[in-house]
Amino acid sequence: MPDAATVEEVLKLASRAPALDLVPPTRWRIGVDRVELITTRTDDAALIACGAALHHVRIGFSALGWSTRVHRKTEGDRLATVFPRWDLDPAMSDPMVSEVASAAAISIRRADPRPFADQEVPVSALTWLLQAAQAEEASLVPVSKDRGVVMSLVMKDPLRAGEALSSVLLAATVWGLASHARMVHGNVLVRVGWPVPNSEPLPHSAR
């Protein structure tokens, strides 16, 4: 099990996960050989937010050299259990986005609802985001294009949808794209585009 300082650093990263404008509903319980994700809310929006935090924990541990095994099963207030294992040569879960780059993106990612620049998002970037979703067993379906691209995240299980959402948003940040996710009629929509040049940096949301 990682030491307390490592776990604390990883959970700080998890606190920056996208929460779809909710007060983050995630709580963490630390055991002898595991970290448990718990929540008191089970609506879809809350579970998606919890899934995003779970993915941030996985990325955080991996970037620090720890591989993880995740047991996802709702038992009482527990949604998932993460078992970290020391790995001297951690393999990348996504061949295009390393965990180190994704972990670095956590600190600079912001939900950006502002208009995007006119520059078109290249197909290579959209392919990257699709692969990030597929790495979490999800898919992205384009919905519209206007100063950026709006895509629908397709997955039946909301916890896994949250993990896919985190993967996509971090991949967008690594690419240099601005992004914003929201729920519309039960669907998760992800909007990505190029930020307007010289636009003011957004502050961290209060957590």
pLDDT (tens digit, 9 = 90+) per residue, 111-143?
999 999 999 999 999 999 999 999 999 999 999
Domain locations in the chain as residue ranges? 4-106, 123-193
Q: Cα(8)–Cα(19) distance, rounded to whole angstroms?
A: 20
DSSP 24: P
Q: Please report, as a single letter, which amino acid is at residue 20.
A: L
User: Which of 179, 188, 184 lies closest to 140 in space, CA to CA?
Assistant: 188
pLDDT (tens digit, 9 = 90+) per residue, 162-207?
999 999 999 999 999 999 999 999 999 999 999 999 888 888 776 6
Q: Cα(144)–Cα(107) distance, rounded to whole angstroms?
A: 28
**Is the CATH number 3.30.360.10 carried by domain 4-106?**
no
Confidence check: pLDDT of 97 > 50: no
